[in-house]
């Protein structure tokens, strides 16, 4: 009697599915045949069951701590009892300090995190010595090694020298966890680490008139930022306003296989940094991305998460932090009360987009972008999106990379 394909929920189901897979494999079916499709489906179900029933890896210690904090509604200050001080809490959560045995004992007893998890070596960047994995050629093409002849140096020398002003490679790659990175595609962590370090190096050269104060991100400030979009040079005015507020702003093209739109870096609380790639050179994308990153600062400045890497093409399986930032950005750009009562929500016309934009005092690209987000079958709004109108504001950037 043939086994009926169904979700694998028990050990008996699992064993039966394995036996059927063996029988099918003996027949070596064509992948496009009915038996071939059954084999593929069974393999998927078995893999899913095994991943849940027999996990072969333990979670990263820091990730386990962050998860427990989220479960229990704890703030970083609440961990000082277990880790020794607020400064040590910050160092542990940013992976700059390893857990001691005393910390592990207290975390196991107080938060119920198993010792075998805490004893696991943090997998922030165990292969940091794989110097040849860094995108050396692309770095050289971008001028990251300045006047060095890369043929005269080893990969290790070049990478360590590049990172030296801002820390070690582990400082950046150690934070490339699922908690921090939003993307539906595999990412080159080495390239992402280099890009992040470059953003910090550039931001450190900015002359800030003041230190950042979270209370400055008022609704009035956000509205002022969005209304700059109607100005001919609104992109640069937004950059200048950020810097005046103590927030760094850097533009640098993304590296191959990073699929990145932007990053928010809050390791330096005096000067959080927004880095943008302008991967999609459109005004609607620029303003949404900018407000999304500002949302991370406004909402998550005091959270244990210091970095958010955003590939905004990914609109599925978002963390609560990303969902909150998306909602904040949408509401700031176009208040829901205005959107639901506007013809732009129902009528896919440029006139409707321009009418709502005038009412709100924002660039029509912002409204057209929202309309296309709600219904991607509106291709004729493309002319309003401001295609090719952002990168020209940054002529110092090499856009031919």
What are 221-252's pLDDT values in tens digits? 999 999 999 999 999 999 999 999 999 999 99
Residues of the chain with pLDDT under 50: 1, 54, 56, 123-126, 178-179
Evaluate whether 136 touches 155 at the Cβ level (below 8 Å): yes
Both ends of the chain: CA-CA distance in Å? 61
Evaluate whether 221 touches 298 at the Cβ level (below 8 Å): no
The pLDDT, as a whole number, for residue 306 is: 83
What Å distances lie between residue 185 and 134, 300, 326, CA to CA?
A: 19, 24, 19
Evaluate whether 43 touches 21 at the Cβ level (below 8 Å): yes
Evaluate whether 60 touches 118 at the Cβ level (below 8 Å): no
Residue 58 CB neighbours (<10 A)? 16
The pLDDT, as a whole number, for residue 58 is: 55
- CA 195 – CA 251 distance, rounded (Å): 11
The pLDDT, as a whole number, for residue 173 is: 60
CA dihedral 46, 47, 52, 55 (to 10 degrees): 130
């Amino acid at each position: 009697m043939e086994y009926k394909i169904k979700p694998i929920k028990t050990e008996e189901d699992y064993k039966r599915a394995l036996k059927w897979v063996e029988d099918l494999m003996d027949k070596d079916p064509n992948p496009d045949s009915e038996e071939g499709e059954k084999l593929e489906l069974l393999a998927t179900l078995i893999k899913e069951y095994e991943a849940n029933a027999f996990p072969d890896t333990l979670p990263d210690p820091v990730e386990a701590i962050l998860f427990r904090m989220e479960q229990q509604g704890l703030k970083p200050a609440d961990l000082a009892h277990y880790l020794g001080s607020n400064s040590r809490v910050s160092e542990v959560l940013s992976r700059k300090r390893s857990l001691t045995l005393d910390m592990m004992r207290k975390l196991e007893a107080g938060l119920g995190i198993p010792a075998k998890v805490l004893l696991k070596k943090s997998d922030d960047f165990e292969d940091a010595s794989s110097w040849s994995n860094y995108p050396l050629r692309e770095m050289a093409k971008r001028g990251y090694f300045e006047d060095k002849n890369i043929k005269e140096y080893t990969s290790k020398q070049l990478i360590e020298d590049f990172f030296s002003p801002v820390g070690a490679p582990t400082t950046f790659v150690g934070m490339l966890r699922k908690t921090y990175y939003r993307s539906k595609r595999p990412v080159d962590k080495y390239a992402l680490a280099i890009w992040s370090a470059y953003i910090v190096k550039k931001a450190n050269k900015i002359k800030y008139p003041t230190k950042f104060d979270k209370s400055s991100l008022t609704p009035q400030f956000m509205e002022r930022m969005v209304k700059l979009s109607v100005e001919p040079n609104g992109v640069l005015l937004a950059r200048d306003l950020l810097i005046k507020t103590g927030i760094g702003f850097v533009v640098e093209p993304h590296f191959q296989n990073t699929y990145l739109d932007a990053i928010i870096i809050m390791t330096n609380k005096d000067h959080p940094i927004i880095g943008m790639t302008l991967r999609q050179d459109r005004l609607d994308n620029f303003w949404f991305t900018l407000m999304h990153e500002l949302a991370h600062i406004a909402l998550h400045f005091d959270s244990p998460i210091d970095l958010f890497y955003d590939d905004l093409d990914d609109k599925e399986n978002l963390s609560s932090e990303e969902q909150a930032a998306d909602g904040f950005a949408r509401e700031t750009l176009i208040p829901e009360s205005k959107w639901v009562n506007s013809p732009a929500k129902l009528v896919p016309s440029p006139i409707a987009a321009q009418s709502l934009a005038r009412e709100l005092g924002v660039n029509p690209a912002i409204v057209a972008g929202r309309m296309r987000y709600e219904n991607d079958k509106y291709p004729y709004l493309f002319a309003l999106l401001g295609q090719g109108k952002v990168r020209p504001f940054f002529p110092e950037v090499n856009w031919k990379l």
